[in-house]
Structure formats: structure tokens, C-alpha cells
Amino acid sequence: MKTQERYDKIIDWFSNNMPVAETELHYETTFQLLIAVILSAQCTDKRVNMITPKLFEAYPEPETLAAASPEAVFEYIKSVSYPNNKAKHLVGMAKMLIEEFNGEVPSDINLLQKLPGVGRKTANVIAAVAYNKEAMPVDTHVFRVSNRIGLTNNSKTPLETEKVLVKHIPGPLLPIAHHWLILHGRYVCRARKPDCLNCGISAWCKYYERASKQR
């Protein structure tokens, strides 16, 4: 099967069977989404959703967060991974939003990456989810699933994976395709034990093809 044919079949299946796919992070504003995505680095969305309600209540806008100390923010987020660094990043991010972006979260990926705690993946998430831009965030699920099912050919880095996915997936579908791959990796194509028997795209999956030949 040619690479583009694999993409077309998988995209068609997801389009028909998962027409609505969204982030599982809870948020109401782009600012809240940015906070949640920063907190979600190497942490589960479930854990982030447990602590953000009180955090958002205490710091509803960049001004209140910028005025806080990292020590105060730490108390709200201490159950997530790397809370000390993330507390510093959140306060620094809020200060930069005020000082350089008039308190507004930018939509440009390069500008977003200037913010403390914001790497390319986080910037792509904000661009895709908040602004519906043609961006492909690559987290651990997207990276792993893309390699496993054959959308990429043993890509070594998230950036390499991103470039391949952007090349083959139609631009307008990139924001939702990001969620297709995340949710598929989270609930079906799990890292340790993929549920191939209940997978809707196994017919076009390289991993399943190899596994079937070994039986």
C-alpha cells in the first residue's frame, strides 16, 4: 500500500467514525487553555482537569497571574509533574503576555514559543485548538501512533513527525487529525497493549499487518 493511500483510508475512517474530536482539557478561554496545556506536559489531562478549576478561579486573567508569586501558584498545582518549574513558567508567561502582547494570547506559532513554558508542541496546540489554524501538534501519542500504524516511517523526532503529517494530511483537517491520533493512542492504540481487535483502522495499519504475519 502506498503511503498516501494509507493516509486517505485512515482519514476517511476517522472522518466517518469520529467527526467530532476535541481536547479533553477543560477550559473556557484561550488563556485558560494555554495554562492547561503548559501543565499537561508529561502529565495526564485527567490530573490537570482536577487542579485547574481552583487555579482558574484564583487567576482568571493574565494580570492576576502575573502579580502572583511562583510559590503561591505552586500550592494550586503541586500534584502535577514538575510543579516548581511549571509555577515559574506560568507566572513568567502571564508577565510576558502583559508586557509584549497586551494581555492577549498570540495565534502565531513563533510568537507563542517566546512564552515561558511554551515549546513547539504547546504552540501548535494553541494555534490548532484555539485559533483553528493548520497546525499539527505532536505529543507522545501522536508520535508513537504515527510511527506504529505507518503514517511515518520511524521518525526520530516530533518535528520530523510533524513535517511528514503536514505533508500528507489536508491542511483544513490538521486540527482535528491531531485529536484523532491522540484519542486513538489514548484509548485504542495504547502504548503497551494496542487493542487491535477493536481497532477500526487495522486494515491499513503496518503494525497490525506485521503482527498478523507472525501469528
Residues marked as binding?
Answer: 189, 196, 199, 205
* H helical segments located in the chain: 3-17, 30-39, 45-58, 62-66, 70-77, 83-101, 109-112, 120-125, 140-149, 158-168, 174-187, 206-214
Closest CA to 124 of 186, 175, 181: 175
Name the residues annotated as catalytic.
Answer: 121, 139
Among the listed residues 200, 205, 213, 214, the one whose alpha carbon sits nearest the alpha carbon of residue 145: 205
Judge whether 161 and 77 are in contact, CB under 8 Å.
no
- Spatial neighbors of 123 by CB under 8 A, at least 6 apart, are 109, 110, 112, 113, 135
Spatial contact of 169 and 9, defined as CB atoms under 8 Å apart: no
- Binding residue positions for [4Fe-4S] cluster: 189, 196, 199, 205
C-alpha radius of gyration, the chain, whole number? 19
Cell 495504547: give the residue: 190
* Cα–Cα distance, 80 to 102 (Å, whole number): 29
3-state secondary structure of 126: helix
Read off the amino acid at residue 185. Answer: G
Q: Specify the 3-state DSSP secondary structure of 163.
A: helix
